[in-house]
Chains A and B, each alone.
Chain A
Amino acid sequence: MSSRRWVALIAGAFAAAIAVSALLYRFSRSADFDRHSQVVEAVGQVRHLDRLLSEQVLAARFGLLNQYDSINATEAGLAAADGDLESRIRDVGVVDSGLEPAFHELEEAIAAKRAAAERFKTENSILRNSTYYLPTAANETVKNVSRSPTKTGRATDKGSDAMPVKTDAVAAAIQRVAQTGLAYNLIGDESSRDAHLQAIAALRAQEQLAPVESREALRLLVAHANAIAREVPAVDRWVQAAVSTESAEKLSALESEYQTRFARVVASSNRYRQILYAWSLFLLAAVGVTGVQLRRAYTGLELRVAERTSELRDALAALWGEMKLARKIQEALVPTAPSLSRCEIAARMQATDEVGGDYYDVIQMEGCEWILIGDVSGHGVPAGLVMMMCHTAVRTVLGSVPEAGPDVLLSRVNSVLTRNIRELNEDKYMTISAFRRSPDGTVRFAGAHQDVYIFRAATGRIERLESSGVWLGLKDEIGSVLAVQEFHLEPDDLLFLHTDGVTEATRDGVMFEREGIMRILQAANGKTAAQVVDETFAELLTYDVKDDATVVVLKQLHPWRGIEPDHST
């Protein structure tokens, strides 16, 4: 899976976890206790105002409240508190169709209570006025009757001695009405009502006995007495309606319905809270486990990196080992102490850190001797391999065709080399010169490599021969373009062969070049081959040698030396 998909997957899982948490949190918060407390408060307010209205109506009924402003304020407050309660319950979000009737019934009960209070106010004012006025009116009427100049309304049919008695009877009836009226107002039962109605009837029966001047006062008195008889039951009926506990019961019913629903919400919310806690713990654990896993994976990664590093180090070491082996093979292949007849021969190859491509060989065979020098392009194991192939090929060709000339040798070697290089799939080639020497000093050579230097001991001159031909490893067939050159070495002459590592060594930006070789050879008179090689490398110490450097020096000796040792003794 790609890393982008991993990131998307992790982000998705993270978002999903957040969403689940948010949802659980929201569900766990569905019981809003702030709003619940507001509902409880509003219930308390409605209950308080409902009770207060009842108290105020009762107080007004019994004269403890002398005006209705406070009742109006309570009524308005009650209606507002009811509306407030309903909206607060709706805010909690527990309203369902089962709760709507409870709202409606409470509202109706409160409206009925308010309407009763309204009618109570109206009727109670009339009752209050009459109960207040009745005793005053009674006293005034009694005085009125007693002081009246006519004394009686029916002067013709009663004697003058009866008049004080009649007046007293009227006065007594008046006071009886006042007494029964107030008693009825206070007691309000059937017997007190009957007593009051009888007193009114009795007064009306004696109305004709009262003086004419007091008739109007009597009429008003009776009107107020009747008002009391009429209003007491009306007022008490409205008081009962206004102090009815129906609204309180409806409130309790609503409260109970609400509490049931809120309790359900609380229970559900608690459940969700528990789930939320569990979910949080799970997330915490998941985060912990993920952290541990990551840590483990990281540790594994580190280990693997260390392993790989170590493997690489081993591989490198192995590679280096191979390189060293390749170098050893290369060193083993080149002859360290070559010898040929009637000559001194010295050779040295100074390899660079890597395996270089330098090649030289000295071969002594029946009837002829070979000196080969060459250089494979590039460095490293492939160059070393090509060099080894060449070494083997040369030996093989010479083994099978001992009489071969240098051109034939190189042509055959080239065939093998070209095929092998192709099989190696390497882009390699090789410069090489092959020298076939006769012990008498005649040398025939072919192949393109570096220039060939010859120091003539007799004259002290230095000859330089350019090698010619083509490089090996590029073409399958090169026999047609190889030319054979020939020179002859006199006794004490020096043949100087080298690879480009020598001429291309630099010092202060200046190359060793042919001038360096000339300097060595000019001072070579009387020196042995080995000395010339040593001097060359001693000189090269002061140079920066970047490539393999190989020098092969051959010094032709006098014919008798070595062959006829008795001459020298």
Chain B
Amino acid sequence: MIRGRLGLRLDFYNAAGVVLAVVGCSEPSHTDAHKVAAQAPHAMLEREPLEPLPEPPPADARVVALGRKLFNDSRLSADDSTACSSCHSLENGGVDGKPKSTGIHGNVGNVNAPTVYNSGLNFLQFWDGRAPSLEEQVGGPLTNPLEMGSSWEQALGKIAADPDYRARFAAVYSNGITADNVRASIATFERELVTGGSPFDRWLGGDKDALNERARAGYELFKGVGCIACHQGRNVGGNMLQHFGVFGDYFADRGNVTEADYGRFNVTHNEADRFVFRVPSLRYVAKTAPYFHDGSADTLTRAVQVMAKYQLGRTLTDEQVGSIVAFLGSLAGPTPSAVAEN
């Protein structure tokens, strides 16, 4: 196995090298790999599979403040009990810590609430990826009878009754209070929730002391054992769809399969999409237990073990898992400034 910063960047050449090595019955050396790397002129080779988080996009502070108010406003639910923030608590990693969230009237939802932090960087929204943007995502929970159980008509009526909202909307939207403007405001706020400046990002940026030895070893394992195949890019995930249960039938082993477990199949009704989910971002993973769409993994250690078994077809030692968990802990940055009231 090739180690070091080159990692999976070279898997094509690596694979070729291994073929040669196997044919020649000798192990490839680091030196060989470096030579190969040095000879490869393609610019794409220079990229790490993970990248630092970008800056939050520039946005009108008034819209962000309006989105924050809406995000925290329980009046958007049918019985004024549940806000977006009820399940996506900004103080609690953008989640509620429950396997499945509780909506109005104590209804329990179908899937685990994913974190709202860095959600703007996901290529699709929801576990099954049914919304291509945060704007389109907003309507889902609002009208889901198990979540906020409201309707746009009802929610807009309550918003319009509040003079503060009327003033805020009038200040930034020429057409005042509309469903589209509510969506846009909340989405704009959510896109600001980028947790940049994590120890890992600082390390990527050249700060050698930002990661301890264990986390660094965890990063190498993360790339080496194949997590990186799916959890990749600036958001460490959230940029592709994947089968849950590549090297084993996760759902048969877990039992009690529900419709929510069908994942993307529920969107496309294509048999190839059964048990396919959007790969979640691991940027805030240390703070968002329990894990998976079903909230079945209580701890990150357990989650890493399940992933290794069903996704990578490997058995990892406790030491390896611990290192990976340490690395995952380094991915979370400080709470974004947009969370605080200005």
> Which residues of A approach B to under 8 Å, CB–CB?
59, 62-69, 72, 76, 118-119, 121-122, 125-126, 128-133, 135-136, 138-139, 175, 178-179, 182-183, 185-186, 216, 220, 223-224, 227
Q: C-beta contact mask, B115-127 vs A, less than 8 Å → 1, else 0?
A: 0000000010000
Q: A182-B22, A183-B19, A227-B246 are in contact. Are A66 and B313 (CB under 8 A)?
A: no
* With contact pairs A132-B8, A227-B313 given, residues A67 and B16 touching in the complex (Cβ less than 8 Å): no
Known: A64-B42, A126-B246, A133-B313. A179 touches B9 (CB 8 A): no
Q: Of B14, B16, B49, B247, which one neighbours A223 at CB under 8 angstroms? A: B247
Q: Which residue among A59, A132, A182 has the maximum number of chain B CB atoms within 10 Å of its CB?
A: A132
Q: Is B143 an interface residue (CB 8 A)?
A: no
Residue of A nearest to B48 (CB): A66
Question: Which of B12, B242, B243 sits near A63, CB closer than 8 Å?
Answer: B12
Per the bound structure, the CA–CA distance linking A155 and B49 in Å amounts to 47
- Are the CB atoms of A69 and B239 closer together than 8 Å? yes
Point out the residue from B7, B45, B229, B313 that lies within 8 Å of A64, measured CB to CB.
B45
How far apart are the CA atoms of A64 and B228 in the complex, in Å?
A: 15
The answer on a CB contact under 8 Å between B276 and A122 is yes
The reply to whether the CB of B306 lies closer than 8 angstroms to some CB of chain A is no
B50 within 8 A of A: yes
Q: Is the CB of A131 within 8 A of B123?
A: no
- Which of the candidate stretches B79-87, B153-161, B230-238 sits at the interface with the other chain? B230-238
Contact B240 A130 (CB under 8 A): no
Chain A residue contacts of B204, Cβ below 8 A:
none
Question: How far is it, in angstroms, between the C-alpha of A185 and the C-alpha of B228 when the chains are bound?
Answer: 19
**CB pairs A–B below 8 angstroms (25 shown):** A63-B10, A63-B15, A66-B7, A67-B47, A67-B49, A67-B51, A67-B232, A67-B233, A68-B239, A69-B232, A69-B235, A76-B123, A118-B240, A121-B239, A125-B240, A126-B242, A128-B8, A128-B229, A129-B311, A132-B8, A135-B22, A138-B22, A186-B19, A223-B247, A227-B313
8 interchain residue pairs of minimum CB distance: A63-B12, A69-B233, A129-B226, A67-B232, A135-B18, A125-B229, A129-B229, A121-B240
The listed residue (B23, B241, B246) touching A179 by CB distance below 8 A is B23
On chain B, the number of residues with a Cβ less than 8 Å from chain A's Cβ atoms is 50
Nearest-neighbour CB distance to chain A for B57, whole angstroms, equals 14
> Given the known A-B contacts A62-B12, A118-B241, are A68 and B232 also in contact in the complex, defined by CB atoms under 8 Å?
yes
How far is B261's CA from A537's CA once the two chains are assembled, in angstroms? 147
Q: What is the chain B residue whose CB lies nearest that of A117?
A: B240
Q: Check B15–A131 contact: CB distance below 8 A.
A: yes
Whether the pair B230, A125 counts as a contact (CB closer than 8 A) is: yes
Q: Contact at B246–A135, with CB atoms within 8 Å? A: no
Of all chain B residues, the one with the shortest Cβ separation from A62 is: B12
B312 interface residue (CB < 8 Å to A)? yes
Known: A126-B246, A132-B226. A64 touches B44 (CB 8 A): yes
Q: Mark B71-95, 1 if CB is under 8 A from A, else 0.
A: 0000000000000000000000000
Q: How far apart are the CA atoms of A133 and B21 in the complex, in Å?
A: 15
Given contacts A122-B243, A122-B276, A186-B16, contact A66 B8 (CB under 8 A): yes
Mark out the residues of chain B between 44 and 60 whose CB falls within 8 Å of any chain A CB in the assembled complex: 44-45, 47-51
B272 interface hit (Cβ, 8 Å)? yes
- CB neighbours (8 Å) of A62 from chain B are 12
Return A67 CB to nearest CB of chain B, in Å.
4
Q: Are B314 and A133 in contact (CB under 8 A)?
A: yes
Q: Which residues of B are found within 8 Å of A130, using beta-carbon distances?
A: 313
Contact B240 A132 (CB under 8 A): no
CB neighbours (8 Å) of B247 from chain A are 220, 223-224, 227
Q: With an 8 A cutoff between CB atoms, is B13 at the interface?
A: yes
A122 touches B242 (CB 8 A): yes
Question: CB within 8 A of A185: which of B15, B21, B25?
Answer: B15
B108 interface hit (Cβ, 8 Å): no
Q: Are B15 and A132 in contact (CB under 8 A)?
A: yes
For residue B180, CB closer than 8 A to chain A, the reply is no
Which single member of A59, A128, A132, A135 contacts B44 (CB below 8 Å)?
Answer: A59
Is B207 positioned at the interface, with any CB of A under 8 Å from its CB? no
B162 to chain A, nearest CB (A): 35
Q: Mark B90-105, 1 if CB is under 8 A from A, else 0.
A: 0000000000000000
Question: In the complex the two chains form, is B21's CB within 8 Å of A72's CB?
Answer: no
Which residues on A sit within 8 Å (CB–CB) of B164? none
Chain A positions within 8 Å of B107 at CB level: none
Q: Known contacts A122-B276, A129-B226, A129-B312: does B13 contact A63 (CB below 8 Å)?
A: yes
| Neighbouring A residues of B9 by C-beta, 8 Å | 66
B22 to chain A, nearest CB (A): 5
In this complex, what residue of B is CB-closest to A179? B22
Neighbour of B239 across the interface among A67, A131, A175, CB < 8 A: A67
Residue of A nearest to B247 (CB): A223
- Closest Cβ of chain B to A366, distance in Å, is 124
Q: State whether B226 touches A68 (Cβ < 8 A).
A: no
With A129-B226, A131-B11, A131-B15 given, is the CB distance from A136 to B23 under 8 Å? no
* B189 shortest CB reach to chain A, Å: 21
Q: How far is the CB of A358 from chain B (nearest CB, A)?
A: 100
A residues in contact with B230, CB < 8 Å: 125
Chain A residues near B314 (CB, 8 Å)? 133, 220
Residue in chain B with minimal CB distance to A75: B123
Alpha-carbon gap, A131 to B242, bound state (A)? 17
Q: A179 touching B47 by the CB < 8 A rule?
A: no
Shortest beta-carbon distance from B221 to chain A in Å: 12
Instruction: Please give, as numbers and ranges, the residues of chain A lying within 8 Å of B27 by CB-CB distance.
Output: 139
Residue B315 interfacial (CB < 8 Å) = yes
Give the residues from 27 to 55 in chain B that come closer than 8 angstroms, CB to CB, to chain A. 27, 42, 44-45, 47-51
Instruction: Determine how close the nearest CB of chain A comes to the CB of B55; give it in whole angstroms.
Output: 16
Q: Once the chains are docked, how many angstroms separate the CA of A182 from the CA of B14?
A: 11
> A220 touches which one: B12, B13, B19, B313 (CB < 8 A)?
B313
